[in-house]
């Protein structure tokens, strides 16, 4: 391990907090950007509290409130903010990276295009975060489930820098690399477009939501539209859920295919019945969601490639209306979406 490697993590939430804490514990030179001065002081002196799948520990992480307080050049910048804050975060670290630095998007959805516009494609790395985390309170985070990281250069094949980063993140959880990150990002985005957005619209836990036939039909239509858009983009989507859900097999026609689709969705609902949509939690806190990077992305690419996406269009507009206070969160919203 090269302990001279300098790593900046932007965002002290579940993903950023766990990442910063574990890399610091492993001996890497880490700086954490928190946005809040008091939190930066607390984590720097008393430490960040990490628990869950990765073990329980507390470790002080040198932290600052804003990127302007950083110094020197960083080898890797891991941006673990919400999607809406990505561009500002990327602009904030431009003075602290050079031509050899790499900047990683750890957001849900597909944000790498926006990141590349700021830092350049040659420095942009996409990352699928395939493990769960939650922030119980500022400075106290938990890795709630295992999984993996998937890394890929944006619009470029793998190189030695990508493999080096994979080795570093492998101290956190299993990490693999790919020559094509977009199919992996798109795959996870579809799951978020189904589970996260539908939960935000209705306010139900996943188990109760997926027990409803109409919701399962919407779930299927979100996937169907997303795959049609991907076909128009000449993109073959990777399986989701660690390879357990192949979208093409899921949509394949057949005598009992409809029954199998509904059964698959019901099993998901039963297994994760107490899961609460992260977008719903954002709305309950009065914050914006990332719907533009889920269903909104599918809808935008649909318009670009002349593919109809009525269900994703409607869900996107509904969530925006909820954000603006023009619509209530209720299961009744589903009756307004045509199938």
pLDDT band at 3 (very low <50, low <70, confident <90, very high): low
pLDDT at 272: 87
pLDDT band at 1 (very low <50, low <70, confident <90, very high): low
Q: What is the mean pLDDT of residues 25-41?
A: 97
Tell me the domain boundaries of the chain: 6-179, 183-336
Question: Would you say residue 313 has pLDDT above 70?
Answer: yes
pLDDT at 46: 97
248/8 Cα distance (integer angstroms): 38
Mean pLDDT score across all residues of the chain: 95
pLDDT at 4: 84
pLDDT band at 132 (very low <50, low <70, confident <90, very high): confident
Record the tokens describing residue 175, joined without a space.
């990490």
Q: What is the pLDDT of residues 253-286, one digit of tens each?
A: 988 899 999 999 999 999 888 888 989 989 998 9
111/83 Cα distance (integer angstroms): 7
Hey, which CATH number is domain 183-336, 1.10.1040.10, 3.30.200.20, 1.10.357.10, 1.20.140.10? Answer: 1.10.1040.10
CATH 3.40.50.2300 for the 6-179 domain, yes or no:
no
309/34 Cα distance (integer angstroms): 38
Give the Cα-Cα-Cα angle 80, 86, 90 (nearest 5 degrees).
100
Q: What is the pLDDT of residues 203-218, one digit of tens each?
A: 999 999 999 999 999 9
State the greatest distance between any 2 C-alpha atoms of the chain, in Å, as a whole number.
63
Percent of the chain's residues with pLDDT above 70: 99
Q: What is the pLDDT of residues 49-92, one digit of tens each?
A: 999 999 999 999 999 999 999 999 999 999 999 999 999 999 99
pLDDT at 145: 87
Question: Would you say residue 2 has pLDDT above 80?
Answer: no
DSSP string for residues in 102-171: EEEE--SS--HHHHHHHH-GGGEEEEEE-S-EEEEETTEEEE-S---EEEEETTS---HHHHHHHHHHTT
């Amino acid at each position: 391990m090269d302990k001279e490697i300098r790593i900046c993590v932007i965002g002290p939430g579940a993903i950023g907090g766990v990442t910063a804490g574990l890399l610091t514990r492993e001996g890497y030179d880490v700086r954490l950007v928190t946005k809040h001065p008091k939190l930066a002081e607390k984590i720097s002196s008393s430490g960040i509290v990490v628990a869950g799948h990765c073990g329980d520990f507390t470790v002080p992480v040198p932290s600052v409130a804003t990127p302007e307080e950083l110094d020197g050049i960083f080898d890797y910048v891991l941006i673990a903010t919400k999607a809406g804050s990505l561009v500002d975060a990327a602009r904030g670290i431009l003075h602290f990276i050079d031509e050899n630095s790499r900047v990683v998007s750890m957001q849900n959805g597909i944000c790498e295009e926006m990141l590349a516009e700021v830092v350049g494609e040659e420095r942009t790395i996409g990352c699928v975060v395939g493990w769960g985390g939650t922030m119980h309170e500022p400075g106290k985070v938990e890795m709630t489930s295992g999984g993996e990281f998937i890394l890929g250069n944006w619009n470029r094949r793998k190189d030695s820098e990508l493999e080096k980063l994979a080795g570093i993140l492998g101290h956190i959880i299993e990490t693999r690399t790919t020559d094509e990150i977009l199919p992996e990002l798109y795959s996870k985005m579809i799951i978020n477009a189904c589970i996260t957005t539908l939960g935000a619209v209705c306010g139900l836990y996943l188990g109760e939501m997926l027990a409803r036939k109409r919701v399962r039909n919407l779930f299927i239509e979100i996937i169907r539209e997303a795959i049609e858009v991907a076909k128009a983009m000449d993109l073959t989507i990777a399986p989701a859920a660690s390879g357990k859900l192949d979208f093409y097999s899921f949509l394949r026609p057949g005598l009992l295919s409809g029954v199998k689709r509904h059964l698959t969705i019901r099993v998901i609902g039963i297994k994760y019945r107490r899961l609460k949509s992260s977008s719903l939690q954002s709305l309950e806190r009065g914050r914006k969601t990332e719907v533009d990077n889920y269903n909104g992305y599918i809808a935008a690419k649909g318009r670009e490639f002349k593919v109809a996406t009525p269900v994703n269009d409607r869900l996107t507009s509904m969530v925006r209306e909820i954000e603006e206070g023009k619509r209530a969160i209720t299961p009744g919203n589903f009756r307004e979406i045509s199938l």
